[in-house]
Structure 1
Amino acid sequence: MFRETLLSELYEKKMVLLKIILGVSLFVALAGAAIHTLEPHTFDSLLDGIWWAIVTISTVGYGDFVPKSITGRLLGILLIVVGIALFSFFVTNLAASTLLIKEQSEKGLGTAQHASHLLIIGWNERSKLLIEQTHQLSPSKSIVLVDETLLQLPVQYRYVRFIKGNPKLDETLTRANIGHADTIVITASLHVEERLADANTILTLLTVKGLAPTTYTIAELLTSEQYKNAKRAGADEIIEASQHVGMLLTNGTHHHGLIDVIRKLITQNQTKHLCIAPLPHDYIGKRFGTICNQASTSDRFLLGICRAHEAILHPSEKCVLQQGDELIYVKR
C-alpha cells in the first residue's frame, strides 16, 4: 500500500522531474559540445564529449578521456560540482518525500488509489475481525479503512490503506476512492449512545449511496428502529446487531450447544462452510429434491435457496428452481 502511494505521488510530480531531466540533458549536451570544441584532438567527436560529460557529472569519470587544457579542466570541475549537487538534491528530496508519504499513510492523511477494494467505515473490534479474516481468505484483496477517531493505524495492519476523516463528508469518501470499491461495510460506532450511533450510520449510508449508488453496501445497526430508514437509504444488507445477538442468546438458552453450531457455520476459513452460489444453468427447471441428491455427491449439503433477495430454507422437494435463484449450502 505504501509503495503504491509513493509511486502515485512521484507520478503526480512527473512534470517537475521531466523539466529537471531535460535541463540536465541540455547542460550535458552543451558541456559535451564545449569540450569537443576546446580539445578536438582529445575528444575526437561530439559523442565522445557528451560521453565524458555524462560520466563526469554522474561519477568522477572513468579516466578514458581527460581534459588537458586549463579551460577543459575547469569545465570538468564544474561538471563534478554540479553532479554532486544534483545527486544530493535528488537523494534529499526522495528521502524527505518518502518519510512524508509514510507519515501521511500511517496517519490516514493521503488518498487511496485502489480499485475493486473492500471499503470499511469505522474502527472497532468487528472491523478488525473483518479485516483479518478478509486478508486471511484473500491476501491480494485491497482493503481501505475510513475512520475519524483512530490516530494512527496499528503496524500489524500495514496491508490496509487508512483514510482519516468524517465518513459523512464527500471529501473523505472520495479520498477513499469510493467510486471504485466493490463492497462497502458501515460499522456502528460504540463511542456514542445506540440511537445516535444508528442515526450516524444512516447519514453515512446516505453519503455512501450518493457517491456510489450501485456499490453493494452492508450497514450495521445497533437497534431495530432505523431498519426501514436504512432500507430507504439504499442498504443492500442490514445487520441488526442487538437483535441478532439476542436471537443467539435465546437459541442458546433453549437448545444448549446451538450457538457453537452457528458459530462454526458462519466462521470463514479456507473451507468456507456456509455459502451462497448462483444456480447452475443445468439446474433451472429442476425440483429442489432432485438437485439435493446431485449436490450431495459434490460435497455440498443444500439448505435452501435465495430467491428475489429472500432466503427460503428447506423448501419443498417439489419446489421448481428458477433462473436467478441462488443455492444456500454447507460445504463439507
Structure 2
Amino acid sequence: MPYRRLQRFFEKLMASPFMQMALFFLAVFLITGGLIYLFENSINAQFGDLIDGFWWAVITFSTTGYGDKVPVTFPGRLVAVLSIFLGIAATSALSGSLASIFVERNSRARRGLMDFPKLNDHLIVCGWKAHMRDILLDILQSSDFGDDRLVLLSNIESDKVEEIKEDIELKNLKFVRGDYFSETSLKRANVQNARKVLVLADTWESSIPSEIDSKTVMTVLTVKAIARDVYTTAELLDRKYASYLKHAGCDEIIFSRDLSRRILSRSSVTNGMSHIIHDLLAGESGSARLTTASIPREFIGKSYSQYRSGFQENHDLIVLGILENTGTPNRMKMEALRNAQKTSDVSALVTNLQKVKELAVNRPIFVPPDDYLIRPHSMAIILESRKDRP
C-alpha cells in the first residue's frame, strides 16, 4: 500500500507542468554544461572543471550573460547560440505559464471554486440573505475574525459576492459556491478546522419557511457528522423545527421572527425599547455593548458577589449576570456524565443522571443572588462601555 501511494504521488508529480518544465531546464543545463566543458576544457582556461560548465550554462540559459566565461571554439559558440535561443523561448513559456496559473486561480476564486485546506480557526457563514454585506461587516466589527478567516458558502452568483468584496473591509472574504448543506461543499470550506459555523435562513433560493428550515436542519446534521465539536449556530423561522436541531446537536438556535415580534411588542408598551436593544447589539462608538467575558479560574466555585466586587472600580464594565454551561452540548454533557458517575450511591447516581439529561447549554442567569456559586464553564454577561473606542 505505501509503495502504491508513493507511485501515485510520483505519477501526479510527473504530470505537473511545473515538474515537466523543471526537468527540461535541468536537462538543458546538464547537456549544455557538459558540452561546453567538453569543447572548451582543453583550449579555454575559463572552463577548468565541469562546475564551470554548469555555471556558464545557467547564466547563458537565463540570458543574464555576465561575460566572465566566454567560449572560443566554434562548437562551443554554437552551443552558446542554441542555449541563448532556448533560454529566450523557455523564459517566455515560463512567464506565460505562471501568468496563466495566476489568472486561472483568480478566476476560480471569483467563481467560488477554490478549496481552503489550510484555513484554520475560521467562521463559515452558510446561506444568503438580503443586506449580506451589512451582516458580514457586523460580524467583523463584533468579533476577532478577520475577513481572511471568513468563508461564505452559498449558491449565489459570484457577481453578487464580488460586489460585496468591493468593500475594503471584505476584500479578503473567501467564497465557496455550492449547496451549503452538501458535505462536499462544507469540506471545501474546511469545516473540520473551523471554529464556528453560522447557518442563515436562506431566503434567496426559496421563500417557503418549511423549505428554508429543512435546509438549515440538513446543514447542521451534515456539519455535526463531519466535525462534531465545531460550534454551530442556526437561524430558524419556525419553532417546530427546533427539536430537530437539538437532536442534531446544534449549539445555538436563533428564532429571528420571534425576536422581531418581541421587539415590536416591547416597543409598543415601553418607550425607547427598540433604541435600547439596537444600541446594545450594535455596540457603536459612544454607546455600550452587550457581550460575554471569560471568568478567571480563581472565581470558579466562589460567590457571585465576590466576582462582581472586582468590577466596582472599573466604570467601563458592568456585570449583568452569568452565562452557565458555555460550550458545545456534546462536550458539556459528556463531562457532566463522567462527573455524575463518580458516586457509588445508586439514588444519587440516578439524580445526577437526571440533571445531565436536563442540562441547559448557554443558560443566561441575570442578576443572580449574591450567594450564587459560579460553576465551571461559565462566562460573565458584561455591559461594556464603547466611549473610548474608535
TM-score between both structures, scaled by the size of structure 1: 0.89
- Structure 1 equivalent of residue 70 of structure 2: 66
Deviations 1:88-122 (A, max 9, x none): 11111111111111011011011123111111101
What is the count of residue pairs matched by the alignment?
Answer: 321
CA contact (8 A) 1:279 1:323 kept: no
- Structure 2 equivalent of residue 212 of structure 1: 227
Q: Choose the corresponding residue for 2:129, options 105, 124, 131.
A: 124
Structure 1 residue runs without a partner (length 5+): 1-11
**2 CA distance for matches of 1:26 and 1:104?**
33
Q: Choose the corresponding residue for 1:221, options 229, 236, 239.
A: 236
* Deviation larger for 22-31 or 215-224: 22-31
* Deviation larger for 104-113 or 283-292: 283-292
- Structure 1 equivalent of residue 318 of structure 2: 301
**2 CA distance for matches of 1:13 and 1:106?**
27
**1 CA distance for matches of 2:376 and 2:59?**
70
Deviations 1:46-82 (A, max 9, x none): 2222222111100152333222222112111110111
- Structure 1 equivalent of residue 351 of structure 2: none
- Structure 2 equivalent of residue 329 of structure 1: 382
Matched, 1:243 2:255: no
Task: Tell me by how many angstroms 1:33 deviates.
Answer: 2.1
Compared CA separation, residues 125 and 97, structure 1 to 2 (3 A): same
Task: Tell me by how many angstroms 1:316 deviates.
Answer: 1.7
Letter in 2 for 1:17: F
Letter in 2 for 1:241: S
**2 CA distance for matches of 1:130 and 1:141?**
16
Structure 2 residue runs without a partner (length 5+): 1-11, 326-361, 386-390
CA contact (8 A) 1:267 1:273 kept: yes
Deviations 1:170-213 (A, max 9, x none): 11111111111110000001132112211111111111111111
CA contact (8 A) 2:62 2:87 kept: yes
Compared CA separation, residues 234 and 126, structure 1 to 2 (3 A): farther
- Structure 1 equivalent of residue 61 of structure 2: 57
**2 CA distance for matches of 1:268 and 1:25?**
60
Task: Name the SS for the 1:273 alignment partner.
Answer: strand
CA contact (8 A) 1:292 1:302 kept: yes
Task: Tell me by how many angstroms 1:126 deviates.
Answer: 6.0
Task: Tell me by how many angstroms 1:295 deviates.
Answer: 1.6
- Structure 1 equivalent of residue 187 of structure 2: 174
TM-score between both structures, scaled by the size of structure 2: 0.76
CA contact (8 A) 1:272 1:331 kept: yes
Letter in 2 for 1:307: E
Task: Name the SS for the 1:171 alignment partner.
Answer: helix
**1 CA distance for matches of 2:17 and 2:278?**
56
Task: Name the SS for the 1:208 alignment partner.
Answer: helix
Compared CA separation, residues 324 and 48, structure 1 to 2 (3 A): closer
**1 CA distance for matches of 2:367 and 2:200?**
31
What pairs up with 1:126-275 in 2 under 5 angstroms?
Answer: 127-136=132-141, 137-138=143-144, 139=146, 142-152=149-159, 153-154=161-162, 155-156=165-166, 157-191=170-204, 192-268=207-283, 273-275=289-291
Letter in 2 for 1:184: V
- Structure 2 equivalent of residue 44 of structure 1: 47
CA contact (8 A) 1:135 1:141 kept: no
| Aligned Cα root-mean-square deviation (Å) | 2.3
Task: Tell me by how many angstroms 1:258 deviates.
Answer: 1.2
Compared CA separation, residues 174 and 324, structure 1 to 2 (3 A): closer
Task: Tell me by how many angstroms 1:127 deviates.
Answer: 4.5
Task: Tell me by how many angstroms 1:250 deviates.
Answer: 0.9
Task: Tell me by how many angstroms 1:296 deviates.
Answer: 2.4
**1 CA distance for matches of 2:212 and 2:236?**
8
Matched, 1:318 2:371: yes
Matched, 1:103 2:119: no
Q: Choose the corresponding residue for 2:294, options 263, 278, 283.
A: 278
Letter in 2 for 1:173: L
